[in-house]
Chains A and B, each alone.
Chain A
Amino acid sequence: MKVVFINQRKEIEVAGCKRLKNLLDRLEINPESVLVIRDGNLITSDTHLSEDETIEILPVISGGI
């Protein structure tokens, strides 16, 4: 599947992750710091993924306090 990192202008191909949780673990992404979008919809960590789809990772941490 294609994984797009919003804001980083980066795309990668990842294979063999059946659920979103596996994908985030594989990419070492803290689920507390991102939202994950598929076809414009937010998805939860138990969502089944298939190889032919595109997943977008949106970081949610912003800096200046």
Chain B
Amino acid sequence: MKCRRCRGQAVIELRRHNSSFCKDCFFDYLTNQVTLAQEKQKMFSREDRVLVVVSGGKDSLALWEILLGLGVNAWGLHINLGIDEYSQKSEKSVRNFAENYDAELLITNIKDEHGRGVLDIASKTTRTACSACGLIKRYLFNKVALEKGFSVVATGHNLDDEAASLLGNVLHWKEGFLGRQSPVLPSVHPKLARKVKPLFRLTERETAAYCILKGIDYLKEECPLVKGSTSLHYKEALNLLEQKSPGTKHSLYFGFLKKRAVFEPPQLNLKECLRCGQATTDETCAFCRLLSEVESKTRVSKERIC
């Protein structure tokens, strides 16, 4: 198979673009897609300090590498989730990357901060592990961004993530989530950092290929808590459609972006959480409510033991 641009030997075929690329042309394609995403959506400017949330997986490390290559002032933030050996490997992967690229890295550890890992927290609440994990990560990266003066938080969400989320939101008609699903979430409160997803034009197959070709040593092991998650089912379903009809994921998500104003939520009445001071629509934020639930369950079980 030949590269569509230079006619050299192709290393990857992108059926959704009816294209194949050699290594160098693929790097150009991928970097151009990130630049296009950033410019079209006005994600950040040259003056912004960008906090990149890095798990140690392919998407976040590819994102960090690309932003550094584009000259963006991009710092990494790793959140150690306290999932035993998996979290240790994740942190190691991120530390190695930061060392190899001489990049600035911040690390926060849930067990150090709150005395419990994600699984322990989730097991004492009604949330699934992935739901609790997502909530905790969103809270912590926003908190670190505010404390350390970052104007923008970037995450490694890719086209597959966004299309799978969209499918889930449509299947259950979660109109509130549909209104908030976007590659850019502006700061609508002084206690909320701007959030951006510069990889939303790229599939996870493309970010994985980028890491392999660039020699980025990402953690290939999957999180042990994610097995059987709904998001995986949605991704598999979309990939089946993609196989039969290339471009399905792109068409689904980009079609939605053109129409998403229909679901635009009304202006939220945000205030500061009475417990931690972060932005919330309630008296206390979802994170503090989660911790309260854990604390009350722990108290009850201790009383039963006594």
Q: Determine whether B187 belongs to the interface, using a CB cutoff of 8 Å to chain A.
A: no
For B161, the chain A residues whose CB sits under 8 A away are 65
Q: Looking at the complex, which one of A7, A33, A35, A42 makes contact with B222 (CB distance below 8 Å)? A: A7
Contact (Cβ within 8 A) A64 B231: yes
What is the 8 Å Cβ interface bit string for chain B, positions 220-257, against chain A (1 contact, 0 not)? Answer: 11110111010110011001101100000000000000
Q: Looking at the complex, which one of B134, B229, B239 makes contact with A32 (CB distance below 8 Å)? A: B239
For A37, the chain B residues whose CB sits under 8 A away are 212
Contact (Cβ within 8 A) B130 A63: yes
A37-B212, A42-B12, A44-B1 known; A62+B205 contact, CB < 8 A:
no
Closest 9 CB pairs of A and B: A63-B226, A60-B208, A44-B1, A32-B239, A42-B11, A65-B231, A60-B205, A32-B242, A65-B161
A30-B239, A32-B243 known; A44+B58 contact, CB < 8 A:
no
How far is the CB of A19 from the nearest CB of chain B, in Å? 11
With a 10 A CB-CB cut-off, give which of A6, A44, A61 has the most chain B CB atoms: A61
User: Can you add 16 more A-B contacts, CB < 8 Å, to A35-B205, A37-B212?
Assistant: A7-B221, A7-B222, A30-B243, A32-B205, A33-B239, A42-B11, A42-B12, A47-B1, A58-B220, A61-B235, A62-B226, A63-B130, A63-B227, A64-B226, A65-B134, A65-B164
Q: Write the chain B residue with the least CB distance to A37.
A: B212
Bound state CA distance, A10 and B49, in angstroms?
A: 43
A62-B58, A63-B232 known; A46+B1 contact, CB < 8 A:
yes
Chain B contact residues, CB within 8 Å of chain A: 1, 10-13, 15, 20, 57-59, 130, 133-134, 157, 160-161, 164-165, 203-205, 208-209, 212-213, 220-223, 225-227, 229, 231-232, 235-236, 239-240, 242-243
Q: In terms of DSSP, what is the predominant structure of the interface of chain A?
A: loop
Contact (Cβ within 8 A) B243 A31: yes
For B239, the chain A residues whose CB sits under 8 A away are 30, 32-33, 61
By size class, the interface of chain A is 20 to 34
How far is the CB of B158 from the nearest CB of chain A, in Å? 9
Q: Determine whether A14 belongs to the interface, using a CB cutoff of 8 Å to chain B.
A: no
